[in-house]
């Protein structure tokens, strides 16, 4: 049971380049989330999804797009990377029922934009 897997683990981009971060979960969870964490800060919610085919904005959505075409995958896209998007990105998933709502997190993607 792999849990939540993020790909890639590290990436360096040049300003203006695009990339997609992949989050995959094998727990059949409905909810999925993308966060960013800057040095010395807490996690900030970028976008989230409450089910296949649905997405919603979080606290800091600007500059990012997401898609949830399959229940197990949640993609985070940067169309034109900026140095301000240098951060560690975490993906998480959780189930829908209130009784069993522990969120599981991936190990993070460290992105540097130069």
Partner 1 sequence: DAKTTQPPSMDCAEGRAANLPCNHSTISGNEYVYWYRQIHSQGPQYIIHGLKNNETNEMASLIITEDRKSSTLILPHATLRDTAVYYCIVRGFSGNTGKLIFGQGTTLQVKP
Residues in contact with partner 1, counted by CB under 8 A, come to a total of 28
Q: Among residues 17 and 110, whose Cβ is nearest to partner 1?
A: 110
Could you check whether the bond before residue 19 is cis, i.e. omega within 30 degrees of 0? no
Q: Which x/- pattern, by CB under 8 A, does the window 82-111 give for partner 1?
A: ------x-x-x-x-x-x--xxxxxxxx---
| Interactions with partner 1, residue window 12-51 (CB under 8 A) | 31, 33, 35, 41-45, 48, 50-51
Residues forming contacts to partner 1 in the complex (CB under 8 A) are: 4, 31, 33, 35, 41-45, 48, 50-51, 58-59, 88, 90, 92, 94, 96, 98, 101-108
């Amino acid at each position: 049971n792999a849990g939540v897997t993020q790909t890639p683990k590290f990436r360096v981009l040049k300003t203006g380049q695009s990339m997609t971060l992949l989050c995959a979960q094998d727990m059949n969870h409905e909810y999925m989330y993308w966060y960013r964490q800057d040095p010395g800060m807490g996690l900030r919610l970028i976008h989230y999804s409450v089910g296949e085919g649905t997405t919603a904005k979080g606290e800091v959505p600007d500059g990012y797009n997401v898609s949830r075409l399959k229940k197990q995958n949640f993609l985070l896209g940067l169309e034109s990377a900026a140095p301000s998007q240098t951060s560690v990105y975490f993906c998480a998933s959780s189930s829908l029922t209130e009784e069993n709502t522990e969120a599981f997190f991936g190990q993070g993607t460290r992105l540097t934009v130069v």
